[in-house]
Structure 1
Amino acid sequence: MSQNATTAMRAAPHATPEERAALGKAARRRSPRSGHAVYQPSRHRPDPLSILETQSAARVPELVPIRYGRMMESPFRFYRGAAAIMASDLAGSPSSGLTAQLCGDAHMLNFRLLASPERQLMFDINDFDETLPGPWEWDVKRLSASLVIAGRANGFDDAQRARIVRATVRQYRESMIRFAGMGNLDVWYAKVGADVLETLAAGRLAKRSQRNLSQALAKARTRDSLQVFDKLTETVDGLPRIAADPPLLVPVSDLLPDIERVGLERQFRGLLERYGR
């Protein structure tokens, strides 16, 4: 993308919908949709396993085998743990130059039913630990690929998987068109509530699928922060403590001598106090 095009997009944060549409059309001319149809690996593509090994070098050594074991369970499990590999592949793919704050790991299982701060049940994305600025296309492609992999695992044929992906991308496209004509606050408050899911299910899903959705909604309504608190903590000397779950969760007292532990706890308390202030 040219420097002038990038500058033009950054210089128009308050452009009208018509002006934004013109910028989008110009971006599509530079990066036509046909350029996204086929993924062709570069001759210089990094070895995927080398990317995983590089990541593992910065992780807790005792947890690396657990990560690899999970990734070996199925193609989808591998895909879930391989966000860095996909980012590396997409880095050389066509881009319109329109940058967004990405989820960074927008596969299908990172969308779920959850409660808003107002205790309303919604369907939304819930995993942002790999968020980063990047081309908007990346999140859409990662989501679409996850649907293909999950479809294969569930016995859907090529035609069924193609319909699922096209429906997903069409919904994304139509939603973005709708958002483009709305103000910033209206977009901020836009949501997909449980009632919307139930309405869609009534008109599109078979009876069995509707029952499955109703059961999922009922189960989600029973979950709250207090339930999670009870599940993840235990009482020690009258005080709540995060429950140990070795080797994933290990108390610092089991890892460090008393002198080092006291120093580390002092650092953590200082961080929390500064954060509170």
Structure 2
Amino acid sequence: MTITSAYTASLSPADRAARGRAARKHAPRSGHGLFDAGGREDPVEVIERQSATRVQELVPIRYGRMLESPFRFYRGAAAIMAMDLGRRPDTGLTVQLCGDAHLLNFRLLASPERHLVFDINDFDETLPGPFEWDVERLASSFVIACRANGFSEKEQNETVRECVRAYRTRMREFAGLRTLDIWYAQDDVDRLRELMASSMSKEARRRTRAATDKARTRTHMQAFEKLTRLTPEGRRITPDAPLITPLRDLRSGAGGDRQEQEILAVVEGYAKTLSSERRHLLRHYRLVDMARKVVGVGSVGTRCWIVLMLGRDDEDPLLLQAKEAQESVLAAHTRGERYDNQGRRVVTGQRLIQTTSDIFLGWTHIVSGLDGRSRDFYVRQLRDWKGIARPETMDPAMLRLFAQLCGASLARAHARSGDPVAIAAYLGGGDSFDRALIRFAQAYADQNERDFAALGRAAATGRVHAEDL
């Protein structure tokens, strides 16, 4: 069964609401405002343990990116926060968590029907767990972003309040909807305009239109033009070492040949997880080039490949990204389902959370011919109509509006896999949970700054090596 078990589905709405209110006994809403760092593991050790399983020559890039700012550090520190959240009492009200629900993981995306929607976009850490963990990570990210912008504490708190209130009120709306209506709900551009019209300034409306227009230009063809070039051998991926390194530049004797075979095996195995009509579509393309790509902040060092495929000619591309999927940072702190394939975990979670997913989304598993290790991958299109927020350019009013969107979108994601009736009853109609999350987000932003400083000291003393790229 999925997260909403047959037991929950058999309960009446009144019984489900009672279950939610009962959760307040062992996890009071006011208790979410408490954060105690006493007895926690050294945060640098947590990061180092993650780095041990990654491509070692890329690990210094990860540290360099995390040391750019407290917000960049936070993006790479999902494992640290998972450790901290796992030490706290939880509600037991389980959903499919994003697992890394910071504000930059919410963005405009293209649906298969070519509509723009606002949704979560990162699922590397997805796993069933207590709903509040995602809300707490999202709320904290807004305080950290506000501080980076120099906003006052009052402005920081108002931003978190808008985020959490939007989550709570949207969840109450879902608690009254039919099951299929919840499943089909989505935040397309038209709905976003309706939600924000009453509170949007003229400048906010202009920027929203500009953002949606720009997202529509970020197509696979734009990525194709940016990442590839014509050569005497045909269209090939453009080198930008060490961030993008074509396989031909990584080859070293027989090892390079085995690496190529592995990537071919990833593509071949992944295709088997697609539905029959999408496998048919994929067969219209031929593979012509591959390159290693450095991605994100927290993901730096995981094995990630760009795969260039062409259809009828050199101007008919399909760019896929094959990314290694390791165990979720939440796994050590939850009691839920375990997967024998981490790529499948990512894909399953994404399909549960997102209203509409990439048609080329799939997973696979290989045993490396280089070191004999078993590795899981998930595959998706590299880019298709993605609009990424730029919080550093937002004033307090605009960031509050964005916080509302993220909170409401997270509620929709959680309502699909969890029990919106129980969660809504737990949250209640007042602002007790909202006020607690403000206290937590401020305390955790303080802790994040201390952890950021700890990594800085580790780099200064030579414990870790960081590179600026």
Is TM-score (shorter-chain normalized) higher than 0.5?
yes
Hey, what does 2:121 align to over in structure 1?
126
Hey, what does 1:272 align to over in structure 2?
267
Hey, what does 2:242 align to over in structure 1?
247
Q: Give yes or no for the alignment of 1:158 onto 2:153.
A: yes
Query: What amino acid does structure 2 have at the position aligned with 1:71?
Result: M
Hey, what does 1:41 align to over in structure 2?
37
Q: Give yes or no for the alignment of 1:218 onto 2:213.
A: yes
**Over the residues paired in the alignment, what is the CA RMSD in angstroms?**
2.2
Q: Please, what TM-score do these two structures have when normalized by structure 1?
A: 0.88
Structure with greater contact order relative to length (CA < 8 Å, sep ≥ 6): 2
Q: How many residues align?
A: 270
Question: Mapping of 1:250-265 within 5 angstroms?
Answer: 250-265=245-260
Report deviation, 1:235: 4.2
Hey, what does 1:80 align to over in structure 2?
75
Q: 1:63 to 1:101 in 2, by over 3 A?
A: same
Q: Is the 8 A contact 1:63 1:248 kept in 2?
A: no
| Secondary structure, counterpart of 1:113 in structure 2 | strand
- In 2, the alpha carbon distance for the partners of 1:16 and 1:244 equals 59
- In 2, the alpha carbon distance for the partners of 1:271 and 1:118 equals 27
Query: What amino acid does structure 2 have at the position aligned with 1:256?
Result: R
Question: Mapping of 1:62-77 within 5 angstroms?
Answer: 62-77=57-72
More strand by share: 2
| Secondary structure, counterpart of 1:100 in structure 2 | strand
Question: Mapping of 1:24-35 within 5 angstroms?
Answer: 24-35=20-31
Q: 1:51 to 1:139 in 2, by over 3 A?
A: same
Report deviation, 1:123: 1.3
| Unaligned stretches of 5+ residues in structure 2 | 273-469
Report deviation, 1:200: 3.6
Q: Is the 8 A contact 1:62 1:247 kept in 2?
A: no
Question: Mapping of 1:44-55 within 5 angstroms?
Answer: 45-55=40-50
**1:181-203 CA deviation, whole Å, 9 max, x = no partner?**
32333222211111222234432
**1:41-93 CA deviation, whole Å, 9 max, x = no partner?**
132x0011111111122222222221112111111111111111111111111
- In 2, the alpha carbon distance for the partners of 1:239 and 1:21 equals 62
Q: Give yes or no for the alignment of 1:208 onto 2:198.
A: no
| Secondary structure, counterpart of 1:114 in structure 2 | strand
Report deviation, 1:260: 2.5
- In 2, the alpha carbon distance for the partners of 1:188 and 1:236 equals 47
Q: 1:272 to 1:218 in 2, by over 3 A?
A: closer
Hey, what does 1:143 align to over in structure 2?
138
Sequence identity, in percent? 53
| Secondary structure, counterpart of 2:9 in structure 1 | coil
- In 1, the alpha carbon distance for the partners of 2:101 and 2:252 equals 41
- In 2, the alpha carbon distance for the partners of 1:16 and 1:233 equals 56
Query: What amino acid does structure 2 have at the position aligned with 1:29?
Result: K
Q: 1:91 to 1:237 in 2, by over 3 A?
A: farther
- In 2, the alpha carbon distance for the partners of 1:237 and 1:14 equals 65
Hey, what does 1:181 align to over in structure 2?
176
Hey, what does 2:99 align to over in structure 1?
104
Report deviation, 1:231: 2.4
Q: 1:150 to 1:274 in 2, by over 3 A?
A: closer
- In 1, the alpha carbon distance for the partners of 2:195 and 2:175 equals 23
Q: 1:23 to 1:237 in 2, by over 3 A?
A: farther
- In 1, the alpha carbon distance for the partners of 2:34 and 2:248 equals 52
- In 2, the alpha carbon distance for the partners of 1:171 and 1:160 equals 17
- In 2, the alpha carbon distance for the partners of 1:74 and 1:46 equals 22
**1:7-44 CA deviation, whole Å, 9 max, x = no partner?**
x977323433322212111112221101111211132x
Q: 1:111 to 1:23 in 2, by over 3 A?
A: same
Which of 164, 168, 176 does residue 163 from structure 2 map onto? 168
Hey, what does 1:91 align to over in structure 2?
86
| Unaligned stretches of 5+ residues in structure 1 | 1-7
More helix by share: 1
